[in-house]
Structure 1
Amino acid sequence: MFNIESLHYLLNGRLVDGENKRNHLINDFEYNINYVKNKNTAFISIKNRTWEKFHGRKSKIIDGNEQINSQIENIGLIITEEYIPNLKYKIPQIIVRDSIEAMKEIGAKARLNYKNPLIAITGSMGKSSTRLMLEKTLEDFNVLANRNNSNTRPVIMLNMCKLATNPDFALFEVSINAINNRGNMSLNLSPDVAIITGIGAAHLSTIPTTQEVAKYKARLLDGLNSESAAIINTDTEHSQFLLERAKSNTDKVYKYSLNGTENLKINKLIYKKGVSEINASNQKNEEISYKLETLSEGMVSNSLAVLLTLQILNLDIPNLIMKLTDFNPFNKVLEVKEFHNSRGNVTVIDDTHNASLPAMINAISAFDSQTKYYQGNKIIALGQISDLGKREEQIHLKLLERLGSSNADIILLMDSPYRNIYQNINNKKVEWFEGKNELLTRLLTLANDDSLILLKSSVTNTKFPEIAKELPDELAKI
């Protein structure tokens, strides 16, 4: 925790309007004024020019001083580069040269003082779901975690400041943006547990190969020390490289896999309608059984990372893992939606939250696990995987075999990466559409009673998610 005096000393700034409030407690920080809710929170006001210097490009974030209403009262401190005059209430202000540098200093000090477990998570897929699962199992504790799926460098710096609240556990979901060549934030985080949920085809518009992606993601492991632990998914690409990198930093390296490893073994995995039943055991042959309301192998895999984390933290695994029974990830992550119209019942698996190659394959497998429960048409509708650069057609080609072996009666594809390759899918009726209206119309024609539809795509550079948005209203009209 800080007070105004300790922050004044740490930042070596100029304190204005705060002489009589030097001992006032500050234990939270924000750079978006909308999240400031009490007088123990400091607002870090960052000028546009400072954001632009930091990002190396024009900033879309509103200038910090311009965010502040002159009538504001419910706030403890403003850390700013320029004094804000004419406030109705005299809010203490610390004037600094660079508010982002000030945020870094506060975060570093807060991390130095923080003694409870800090878990950092990255990966090409599954990092948000794994973090959310951990949040769910730890819901009875005071937990600091990312808001939504915000996980870039500024968010990590801000959340390091929030360690001043002294949570029981801190969960940091870390994007590649925060551990790239601009500086490895893992060295600042010094995680007690680092989880890599897997490597796959993502970021290829800026990073040429999955091997390079693995090298960047592995930087999370460089913040470990001999007392820290690493948890690695060995079911995806470059896992051996990740294991070796982990072992160069700590001897406490744990592996998980749906196929069983020395640290955790799946004894039984049964997919039922809308539910997965799992029985696993550790090295001591201690068994744990639990259920997930999920169709996804990927989500089951994420739960294994959670089991290992709880084990490393010496927590009550049997009771905590049961909290996952009613776990729900973000909207549009293999979200099952049921609709009724004049034709009957239509079930949609909406997985348009985002996409990578492993996530696409995982979604198709989830669809296949459910088709036996439906008598109507089984339809897979896909948009593109974005952010693949010059390799987009090559990566999409890797989907063809899996689509050909799927349980779909018909496959509907949209976006340019499929244009020249869709006819190579064997054993299936496949149709390609240039625009979303045409695909939506075809989908509505095929949606008969007791049909099952999978919708999957990225969210950027494609209009496919608009289909998922419009489909419910269009189904209701039938």
Structure 2
Amino acid sequence: MPIWDTDSICIALGLDVSCISNFTGVSINTEAINAGGIFIGIKGKNVDGGIFWGKALEKGAALCIVNQDIEAHGDNIIKVQNTHDALIKLAEYKRNHCFKNVKVLGVTGSVGKTTIKNIISELTSKLYNVHFSKGNFNNHYGMPLSLANCPNDADLCILEMGMSASGEISFLSKIAKPDIAIISCIAPAHLAQFNSIEEIARAKAEIIDGMNDGGYVILNADDEYSKFIRQLIETRFNILTFGKKGDFKIEKYEFDGSKTKITLNLLGQKRDFLLNGFISEHLAENILCAFAAIYAAQYEIDESFIDRISASHGRGHIIKTPSGAHIIDDSYNASPLSVKAAIKGLSVYAKQLSLRSIAILGDMKELGKDSESMHREIAQQLILNNIDFLFTIGELMEFTHSEVITRFHNKNLIALHFQEMDSLINTISGFLSNGDVALVKGSNSMKMHKIVDYLSMHK
């Protein structure tokens, strides 16, 4: 089924389109063009993407939308005042005029957005036609692009919404108009752009700005800012909660070394699930959140998910190295909340498999004026969970290292700090053995994936 037709494009953009066609989708990247697709040349800070219209046509694009000052011509070229505005118009038209039975679910929060989105897809995609944003397409380009590419006959459209400043999620919500909204948690991420965590909570709560009254909002009952968000929501929406105190809660969690057993209480109904491999308690909470969202959508759960669900690459995925060591690849990003949860997971995994536990940590970025204290707090979590070795890199993680050395010098945790990635990789590669499990985690800009890439390829 085509994603777009000529008439819809004409109406959405208020322009005449000379080429008559059905279009396979929308892309802002020539490398992602499908034959018969629409290419939108977005103007960036340094380069106007419209200059690649020729390459897009060579790749099979049936229509190119470019800014007016681009030198291009042909029946399959449309010139507009602003290509980003054109993308927004397509997304808005899709949402307002093409969806008949599609339920739109928006996901935001300081931690877990992409994981929750992926889990909801795993739990529903065998029973329903599910469309969801790829990767972390969650900004003012990626989310509208994901919405514009949703098939008209989808049952569920899952859209991730991220932010770096106040007002951004409100902008996205008013385009997507979600029927169901998830706020996974509020944590001190992006504090460099905000004055307080309360400001972050208020900005995340903007996801309700585009919702119609009567929709569902899913909140983390264990998050101290859920009460604050409830006050912002008032009585306009139905609220479901997940967590230890939630409507949906984990009654029992156990990892036996090969399988993970979780008992979920779903609005008073208890369900046991036995999942393959290691599912961290934090990932189990994300599964719980997904259950709440699917309940709100009034859809069924595909029970076969227990054979497929696992942590994705960069978000807790476990790798066995050629040397026999275990790597918990959580290298995609980091915040104080997610690092503490990852350390707890490392401890559980190491204990059940009788392995040495090694934390390899890089800086947590964008924490603002409290960066030092938040990095120092990580030391206590390491000690509480009896981690054996700590390897750190970055200016901020030096505070964690220092805290371990000065405050916990009489504990068994051995800590080393590094200034250069190559030095850290060389040391780690010679240190790890088949009796070890290492957690690799840090903010994306720290490029901690380089450690995982190297260790997964070398003995």
Change (3 A) 1:11 1:472: closer
1:280 & 1:14 partners in 2: Cα distance? 54
Matched, 1:32 2:40: no
Residues 188-197 or 231-240, more deviating: 231-240
Q: Deviations over 1:262-320 (max 9, x none)?
A: x2232221122254211112235353534264442221111011111221222223xx1
Change (3 A) 1:455 1:242: same
Q: For residue 185 of structure 1, give the secondary structure of its aligned residue in structure 2.
A: helix
Matched, 1:138 2:140: no
Residues 135-144 or 435-444, more deviating: 435-444
Q: For residue 407 of structure 1, give the secondary structure of its aligned residue in structure 2.
A: coil
Check conservation: 2:170, 2:206, Cα contact below 8 A.
Answer: no
Check conservation: 2:165, 2:193, Cα contact below 8 A.
Answer: no
Check conservation: 2:23, 2:62, Cα contact below 8 A.
Answer: yes
Q: Deviations over 1:312-371 (max 9, x none)?
A: 222223xx1431432234312212122344xxx322222111111111011101111112
What residue number does 1:471 align with?
A: 455
What residue number does 1:79 align with?
A: 65
Check conservation: 1:298, 1:362, Cα contact below 8 A.
Answer: yes
What residue number does 1:222 align with?
A: 209
Matched, 1:332 2:319: no
Q: For residue 366 of structure 1, give the secondary structure of its aligned residue in structure 2.
A: helix
- 1:209 deviates by 2.2
1:298 & 1:126 partners in 2: Cα distance? 9
What residue number does 1:4 align with?
A: 6
Q: For residue 68 of structure 1, give the secondary structure of its aligned residue in structure 2.
A: helix
Matched, 1:455 2:445: no
What residue number does 1:349 align with?
A: 328
Q: Deviations over 1:345-399 (max 9, x none)?
A: 3222221111111110111011111122344532222111122233221211221
Extract unaligned runs of 5+ from structure 2: none
Q: For residue 399 of structure 1, give the secondary structure of its aligned residue in structure 2.
A: helix
Residues 203-212 or 418-427, more deviating: 418-427
Change (3 A) 1:273 1:459: same
Q: AA paired with 2:29? A: N
Q: 1:432 aligns with which of 404, 413, 417?
A: 417
2:291 & 2:200 partners in 1: Cα distance? 26
- 1:118 deviates by 0.5
Matched, 1:172 2:159: yes
Change (3 A) 1:121 1:181: closer
| TM-score of the aligned structures, taking structure 2 as reference length | 0.88
Check conservation: 1:381, 1:413, Cα contact below 8 A.
Answer: yes
What residue number does 1:112 align with?
A: 96
Residues 225-234 or 127-136, more deviating: 225-234
1:326 & 1:118 partners in 2: Cα distance? 24
Matched, 1:42 2:38: yes
What residue number does 1:92 align with?
A: 76
Q: AA paired with 1:25? A: N
Change (3 A) 1:34 1:442: closer
Change (3 A) 1:197 1:447: same
Matched, 1:302 2:286: yes
Change (3 A) 1:71 1:163: closer
Extract unaligned runs of 5+ from structure 1: 52-57
Check conservation: 2:88, 2:175, Cα contact below 8 A.
Answer: no
- 1:167 deviates by 1.8
Q: AA paired with 2:180? A: V
- 1:123 deviates by 0.8
- 1:37 deviates by 1.6
| TM-score of the aligned structures, taking structure 1 as reference length | 0.85
- 1:179 deviates by 6.6
Matched, 1:279 2:263: yes
Identity %: 20
1:155 & 1:456 partners in 2: Cα distance? 25
Counterparts in 2 of 1:387-402, with a 5 A limit? Answer: 387-402=366-381
What residue number does 2:396 align with?
A: 417
| CA RMSD after TM alignment | 2.7
